[in-house]
């Protein structure tokens, strides 16, 4: 039997991440041939990968990387089967190494085909499947380019990227805050202006039906009924709709006997409430229209504007599961 030194075992272990006994067995089987031992471990990984192909890789690590110029960012999710592995330092380090590679390419497929220490990233994932004993996948890849890109990662569960139109004073603070908003609130589009009219129509119908059904139950329990909005997006609040809402507000004030000379002080608040009650879709799904998590009196668009001549150009978000 070929004698294998501790130094050879350690070298293979450092190269592959495999356990000491697995490395020793591979070197013995390869009769000391280092490259052949790596291939043996890789085949073991492929065997494990085949056996676990139907498993869910819904745990793992979400990471983000920004280039030195802060003009390009990537966010990826390296998936595994258990939270225990996903929190492991070496697994998170692997995710960050892959993110470093990902920032140089433009698609998930290119990431998997890219070089990782003499093998492809795809082969590295197979190799590590054999080492760890769990299915490992690149579950998500997002890339964003802009004059300035910021990122925020929430305990390696969610990673968010935000692009800005310019690099202004204190842009780092702005970028972190808006990226945190993206991570926390899960917007799906930048502005209500991006919604498709058909989507707004179907959402309006669905939300009204949901509240009506809930009100039936509340009525049976003698609870106060919820208000049923006519609209759910600013896109529906045409000048005609807003004019009618203002007239209705004036009629209400008149019926209450409020002096006409004070209406101008009351109407703006009523109109703000009308807009808030009838733009729930925007507040949930459109980043710029969401209430800012650090200041409930402002929305994200107003917060961004407070930094000067800068706009959010795009955002990306990845998460486990």
Among all chains, which residue has been given the structure tokens 């668009």? 301
Give residue 55's pLDDT.
75
Q: How far apart are CA 114 and CA 135, in angstroms?
A: 20
CB 289 within 8 A of CB 283: yes
Closest listed residue to residue 42, CA positions, set 71, 61, 22? 22
Domains detected in the chain: 6-51 (1.10.8.10), 59-169 (3.30.479.20), 193-308 (no CATH)
Based on the number of CB atoms within 10 Å of its own CB, is 161 exposed (0-12), middle (13-18) or buried (19 or more)? buried
Helix (H, G, I), strand (E, B) or coil at 133: coil
Joined tokens for residue 165: 């139109």
DSSP 229: -
Q: How far is CA 121 from the centre of its chain?
A: 23
> Are 59 and 80 contacting, i.e. CB atoms less than 8 angstroms apart?
yes
Q: Is there a contact between 232 and 200 (Cβ–Cβ < 8 Å)? A: yes
Supply the pLDDT for residue 11: 79
Contact, 176 vs 304, CB < 8 A? no
pLDDT at 133: 79
DSSP 189: B
29: Cα separation from own chain's centroid = 45
Q: What is the pLDDT of residue 248?
A: 92
Q: What is the pLDDT of residue 41?
A: 72
pLDDT tens string 71-103 = 999 999 999 999 998 999 999 999 999 999 999
Tokens found for residue 89: 């330092």
Q: Are 55 and 48 in contact (CB under 8 A)?
A: no
**Radius of gyration of the chain, Cα coordinates, nearest whole angstrom:** 28
DSSP string covering 46-101: HHHHHHTTTS---EEEEEEEE-TTSSEEEEEEEEES-HHHHT-HHHHHHHHHHHHH
Tens place of pLDDT per residue across the chain (321 aa) = 567 788 877 777 777 666 677 777 777 777 778 878 777 777 776 666 566 667 778 899 999 999 999 999 999 999 999 999 899 999 999 999 999 999 999 999 999 999 998 889 998 898 888 777 788 899 999 999 999 999 999 999 999 999 999 999 999 999 999 999 999 998 999 999 999 999 999 999 999 999 999 999 999 999 998 888 889 999 999 999 999 999 999 999 889 988 899 999 999 999 999 998 899 999 999 999 999 999 988 899 999 999 999 999 999 999 997
The percent of the chain in helix, strand and coil, each rounded to the nearest 5, is: 55, 20, 30
* Gap between the Cα atoms of 240 and 88, Å rounded: 58
């Amino acid at each position: 039997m070929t004698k294998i030194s501790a130094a050879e075992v350690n070298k293979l272990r450092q190269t592959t991440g495999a356990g000491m006994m697995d490395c020793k067995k591979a070197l013995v089987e390869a009769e000391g041939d280092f490259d052949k031992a790596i291939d043996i471990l890789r085949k073991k990984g492929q065997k494990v990968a085949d056996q676990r192909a139907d498993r869910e890789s819904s745990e793992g690590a979400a990471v983000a990387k920004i280039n030195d110029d802060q003009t390009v960012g990537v966010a990826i999710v390296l998936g595994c089967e258990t939270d225990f592995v996903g929190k492991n330092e070496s697994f998170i380090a692997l995710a960050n190494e892959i993110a470093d590679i990902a920032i140089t390419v433009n698609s998930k497929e290119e990431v998997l085909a890219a070089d990782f220490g003499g093998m492809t990233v795809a082969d590295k994932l197979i190799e590590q499947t054999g080492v760890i004993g769990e299915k490992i996948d690149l579950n998500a890849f997002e890339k964003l380019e802009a004059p300035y890109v910021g990122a925020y990662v929430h305990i390696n569960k969610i990673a968010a990227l935000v692009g800005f139109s310019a690099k202004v004073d204190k842009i780092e603070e702005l970028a972190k805050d808006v990226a945190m908003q993206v991570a926390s609130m899960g917007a799906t589009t930048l502005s209500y202006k991006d919604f498709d009219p058909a989507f707004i129509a179907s959402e309006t119908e669905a939300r009204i039906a949901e509240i009506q059904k809930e009100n039936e139950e509340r009525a049976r329990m003698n609870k106060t009924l919820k208000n049923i909005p006519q609209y759910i997006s600013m896109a529906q609040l045409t000048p005609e709709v807003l004019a009618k809402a203002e007239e209705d507000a004036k009629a209400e004030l008149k019926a209450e006997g409020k002096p006409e000379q004070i209406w101008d002080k009351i109407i703006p608040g009523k109109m703000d409430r009308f807009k808030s009650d009838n733009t729930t879709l925007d507040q949930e799904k459109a980043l710029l229209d969401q209430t800012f998590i650090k200041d409930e009196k402002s929305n994200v668009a107003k917060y961004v504007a407070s930094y000067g001549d800068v706009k959010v150009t795009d955002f990306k978000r990845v998460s486990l599961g």
